[in-house]
Amino acid sequence: MSNAENIIHVITPLTKEAAVALKAGQQVLITGTILTGRDAAHKRLIAALDAGDEFPVDLNGMIIFYVGPTPVQVGRPIGSAGPTTSGRMDAYAPRLIKEKGLRGMIGKGKRSAEVQTACQSDYAVYFGAIGGLGALLGKCVESAEIVAYEDLGPEAIYKLVVKDFPAVVINDCHGGDGYESGRHEYEKKAK
């Protein structure tokens, strides 16, 4: 586990230069505006892209958190906000990265080779958040506002303002994979 001086502070929107500086395995604290979205919202975003419709949100330089937040808690802008399995967005993410400038994603679990390739070719980053810590992650949210697809309820696209949201770089834009390198490191130590 890294100490506080090894934690990277990431400010959104995420620039290409900031993405290039990140490496798989680094711990980060994200501050700024991020968006939420799960599979139902992603399906609609791609449908809008295919139809040439006006896009409901600006993804350029943004990070999407794969979450369906729980109802608002008293005195808080949001309830629990745990990550969902990222693989469900793998069919959509490469196009959003390439065509709309999506710069980062937060979720849990491995990503497909296509998503990893899109991260490398278009300077995007996949961050992992720890499942089971939704209540803690929700406390990092300072404000929440639905910005698209309100009819989807908790799967609507929210604009969240976060402060010191903890995550780990899983896939960087250099081809690094934190899951693979972590497994290799563990196996090396186990021998």
Q: Where are the alpha helices (DSSP H) in the chain?
A: 16-21, 39-51, 93-100, 113-122, 134-138, 178-190
Q: Identify the pLDDT of residue 172.
A: 97
The pTM of this model reads: 0.92
Q: How far apart are CA 14 and CA 39, in angstroms?
A: 22
Q: How far apart are CA 136 and CA 81, in angstroms?
A: 8
pLDDT tens digits for range 8-33: 999 999 999 999 999 999 999 999 99
Return the exposure string of 38-51: e unless at least 16 CB atoms fall within 10 Å of the residue's CB, then b: bbbbbebbbeeeee
pLDDT tens digits for range 155-184: 999 999 999 999 999 999 999 999 887 666
Residue 129: DSSP 8-state: -
Going from N- to C-terminal start, the domains of the chain cover 4-190
Q: Identify the pLDDT of residue 4.
A: 58
State how beta strands 27-36 and 157-171 pair.
antiparallel
pLDDT tens digits for range 60-100: 999 999 998 777 778 888 888 889 999 999 999 999 999 99
Q: Identify the pLDDT of residue 184.
A: 61
How is domain 4-190 classified at the architecture level of CATH? Answer: Alpha-Beta Barrel (3.20)
pLDDT tens digits for range 102-139: 999 999 999 999 999 999 999 999 999 988 788 889 89
On average, the pLDDT of the chain sits at 91
Q: Identify the pLDDT of residue 76.
A: 85
Stronger pLDDT, 11 or 188, i.e. the higher one: 11
Query: Tokens for 83?
Result: 């990550």
Percent of the chain with pLDDT over 70: 93
